[in-house]
Amino acid sequence: MKSVFSRLLPLLSCSLALLAFGTCISEKTSSYVRVGDKLPAFSVTMNDGQIISNDSLKGSFSLVMFFHTTCSDCQQTLPYIQQAYESFPEVRFVLISRAETDDSLSAYWQQHQLTVPYSAQSDRQIYELFATSVVPRIYLCDPGTVVMKAYDDQVAVHAETILDDLHQLTVQGR
Protein backbone atom coordinates (compact mmCIF):
# COMPACT_ATOMS: atom_id res chain seq x y z
CA MET A 1 0.00 0.00 0.00
CA LYS A 2 1.42 3.37 -1.03
CA SER A 3 1.84 6.08 1.54
CA VAL A 4 0.08 9.40 1.08
CA PHE A 5 3.46 11.04 0.50
CA SER A 6 4.43 8.70 -2.33
CA ARG A 7 1.09 9.35 -4.06
CA LEU A 8 1.49 13.13 -3.68
CA LEU A 9 5.15 13.21 -4.74
CA PRO A 10 4.46 13.31 -8.53
CA LEU A 11 1.89 16.07 -8.04
CA LEU A 12 4.25 18.03 -5.78
CA SER A 13 7.13 17.65 -8.27
CA CYS A 14 4.98 18.84 -11.14
CA SER A 15 3.73 21.81 -9.11
CA LEU A 16 7.28 22.83 -8.17
CA ALA A 17 8.40 22.57 -11.79
CA LEU A 18 5.52 24.79 -12.92
CA LEU A 19 6.27 27.28 -10.16
CA ALA A 20 9.94 27.44 -11.15
CA PHE A 21 9.01 27.83 -14.82
CA GLY A 22 6.54 30.58 -13.96
CA THR A 23 9.17 32.42 -11.91
CA CYS A 24 11.61 32.28 -14.81
CA ILE A 25 8.98 33.60 -17.19
CA SER A 26 8.02 36.49 -14.93
CA GLU A 27 11.66 37.42 -14.32
CA LYS A 28 12.45 37.34 -18.03
CA THR A 29 9.52 39.58 -18.85
CA SER A 30 10.21 42.00 -15.99
CA SER A 31 13.46 43.28 -17.50
CA TYR A 32 13.44 45.51 -20.57
CA VAL A 33 17.19 46.07 -20.66
CA ARG A 34 19.39 43.01 -21.09
CA VAL A 35 23.00 42.21 -21.91
CA GLY A 36 23.72 43.42 -25.45
CA ASP A 37 21.15 46.24 -25.31
CA LYS A 38 22.00 49.93 -25.27
CA LEU A 39 20.87 51.93 -22.28
CA PRO A 40 17.50 53.59 -22.86
CA ALA A 41 17.25 57.37 -23.05
CA PHE A 42 17.21 58.77 -19.50
CA SER A 43 18.37 61.78 -17.55
CA VAL A 44 18.82 62.18 -13.78
CA THR A 45 20.24 64.81 -11.47
CA MET A 46 22.85 63.43 -9.11
CA ASN A 47 23.24 64.44 -5.47
CA ASP A 48 26.14 66.73 -6.46
CA GLY A 49 23.94 68.58 -9.00
CA GLN A 50 25.51 66.93 -12.05
CA ILE A 51 23.04 65.86 -14.74
CA ILE A 52 23.71 62.37 -16.08
CA SER A 53 22.06 60.92 -19.16
CA ASN A 54 22.63 57.93 -21.37
CA ASP A 55 24.33 60.33 -23.83
CA SER A 56 26.67 61.76 -21.18
CA LEU A 57 27.84 58.22 -20.35
CA LYS A 58 29.10 57.65 -23.89
CA GLY A 59 32.86 57.38 -24.04
CA SER A 60 33.22 55.94 -20.52
CA PHE A 61 32.62 52.63 -18.85
CA SER A 62 29.67 52.95 -16.52
CA LEU A 63 27.82 51.17 -13.75
CA VAL A 64 24.12 51.99 -13.43
CA MET A 65 22.36 50.66 -10.35
CA PHE A 66 18.74 50.86 -9.25
CA PHE A 67 18.16 50.38 -5.54
CA HIS A 68 15.99 51.13 -2.53
CA THR A 69 17.56 51.53 0.91
CA THR A 70 14.91 49.41 2.65
CA CYS A 71 15.70 46.46 0.36
CA SER A 72 17.92 43.98 2.22
CA ASP A 73 19.69 42.85 -0.98
CA CYS A 74 20.39 46.49 -1.82
CA GLN A 75 21.72 47.11 1.68
CA GLN A 76 24.14 44.20 1.23
CA THR A 77 25.19 45.31 -2.26
CA LEU A 78 25.74 49.03 -1.68
CA PRO A 79 29.04 48.57 0.26
CA TYR A 80 30.35 46.49 -2.68
CA ILE A 81 29.40 49.25 -5.06
CA GLN A 82 31.20 51.74 -2.81
CA GLN A 83 34.28 49.51 -2.89
CA ALA A 84 34.10 49.35 -6.71
CA TYR A 85 33.63 53.14 -6.88
CA GLU A 86 36.85 53.62 -4.90
CA SER A 87 38.74 51.04 -6.99
CA PHE A 88 37.70 52.20 -10.47
CA PRO A 89 37.87 56.00 -10.76
CA GLU A 90 37.68 55.72 -14.57
CA VAL A 91 34.18 54.18 -14.37
CA ARG A 92 31.10 56.42 -14.15
CA PHE A 93 28.81 55.33 -11.30
CA VAL A 94 25.13 56.22 -11.49
CA LEU A 95 23.04 54.95 -8.58
CA ILE A 96 19.35 55.68 -8.97
CA SER A 97 16.88 55.21 -6.15
CA ARG A 98 13.49 53.73 -6.77
CA ALA A 99 10.90 55.96 -5.09
CA GLU A 100 12.96 57.60 -2.33
CA THR A 101 13.52 61.18 -1.29
CA ASP A 102 16.84 62.98 -1.21
CA ASP A 103 16.49 63.49 2.57
CA SER A 104 16.18 59.77 3.30
CA LEU A 105 19.02 58.90 0.91
CA SER A 106 21.30 61.58 2.29
CA ALA A 107 20.75 60.27 5.81
CA TYR A 108 21.37 56.67 4.70
CA TRP A 109 24.55 57.64 2.81
CA GLN A 110 25.83 59.53 5.84
CA GLN A 111 24.99 56.73 8.27
CA HIS A 112 26.75 54.12 6.10
CA GLN A 113 29.64 56.39 5.04
CA LEU A 114 28.92 56.08 1.32
CA THR A 115 30.41 58.55 -1.15
CA VAL A 116 29.32 57.02 -4.47
CA PRO A 117 27.04 59.47 -6.35
CA TYR A 118 23.29 58.85 -6.30
CA SER A 119 20.12 60.27 -7.75
CA ALA A 120 17.01 60.39 -5.57
CA GLN A 121 13.91 59.60 -7.59
CA SER A 122 10.59 60.09 -5.84
CA ASP A 123 8.77 57.87 -8.32
CA ARG A 124 9.52 54.82 -10.47
CA GLN A 125 9.41 56.53 -13.86
CA ILE A 126 13.13 56.19 -14.72
CA TYR A 127 13.30 52.69 -13.27
CA GLU A 128 10.43 51.55 -15.45
CA LEU A 129 12.47 52.35 -18.56
CA PHE A 130 14.74 49.50 -17.49
CA ALA A 131 12.48 46.99 -15.71
CA THR A 132 9.15 46.47 -14.03
CA SER A 133 10.34 44.79 -10.83
CA VAL A 134 13.29 43.65 -8.75
CA VAL A 135 16.01 45.70 -7.08
CA PRO A 136 18.91 45.78 -6.86
CA ARG A 137 19.39 45.91 -10.59
CA ILE A 138 22.90 46.67 -11.86
CA TYR A 139 24.17 47.24 -15.39
CA LEU A 140 27.85 47.39 -16.39
CA CYS A 141 28.18 49.23 -19.71
CA ASP A 142 30.90 49.78 -22.25
CA PRO A 143 31.79 53.25 -23.64
CA GLY A 144 29.05 52.86 -26.26
CA THR A 145 26.47 52.42 -23.44
CA VAL A 146 25.96 48.78 -24.39
CA VAL A 147 25.14 46.57 -21.38
CA MET A 148 27.94 44.05 -20.98
CA LYS A 149 26.84 42.57 -17.63
CA ALA A 150 23.55 42.74 -15.76
CA TYR A 151 22.70 41.66 -12.24
CA ASP A 152 19.48 41.53 -10.27
CA ASP A 153 18.36 40.01 -6.98
CA GLN A 154 18.32 36.54 -8.56
CA VAL A 155 22.14 36.44 -8.49
CA ALA A 156 24.07 37.08 -5.30
CA VAL A 157 26.46 39.94 -6.03
CA HIS A 158 29.63 40.10 -3.98
CA ALA A 159 32.44 42.61 -4.02
CA GLU A 160 34.70 40.16 -5.83
CA THR A 161 32.14 39.64 -8.59
CA ILE A 162 31.70 43.32 -9.30
CA LEU A 163 35.41 44.10 -8.96
CA ASP A 164 36.37 41.18 -11.23
CA ASP A 165 33.75 42.06 -13.83
CA LEU A 166 34.72 45.75 -13.83
CA HIS A 167 38.39 44.80 -14.14
CA GLN A 168 37.66 42.45 -17.06
CA LEU A 169 35.44 45.02 -18.76
CA THR A 170 37.86 47.93 -18.42
CA VAL A 171 40.99 45.92 -19.30
CA GLN A 172 39.38 44.35 -22.40
CA GLY A 173 37.98 47.70 -23.47
CA ARG A 174 41.34 49.51 -23.48
Please state the domain extents for the chain: 1-30, 33-173
Distances (CA, A) of 109 to 49, 78, 141: 16, 10, 24
pLDDT at 19: 32
pLDDT one digit per residue (tens) for the chain, 174 residues: 455 434 433 433 333 333 333 333 233 335 688 999 999 999 999 999 999 999 999 999 999 999 999 999 899 999 999 999 999 999 999 999 988 999 999 999 999 999 999 999 988 888 888 887 788 999 999 999 999 998 876 666 666 788 888 888 888 765
Q: Which of 132, 135, 117 lies closest to 48, judged by CA? A: 117
Contact of 157 with 82, CB cutoff 8 Å? no
How far is it, in rounded angstroms, from Cα 57 to Cα 63?
A: 10
How far is it, in rounded angstroms, from Cα 27 to Cα 67?
A: 17
Kindly report the pTM of this predicted structure. 0.78
Contact of 46 with 62, CB cutoff 8 Å? no
pLDDT at 157: 66
pLDDT at 23: 31
pLDDT at 102: 92
pLDDT at 169: 84
Second CATH level (architecture) for the domain 33-173? 3-Layer(aba) Sandwich (3.40)
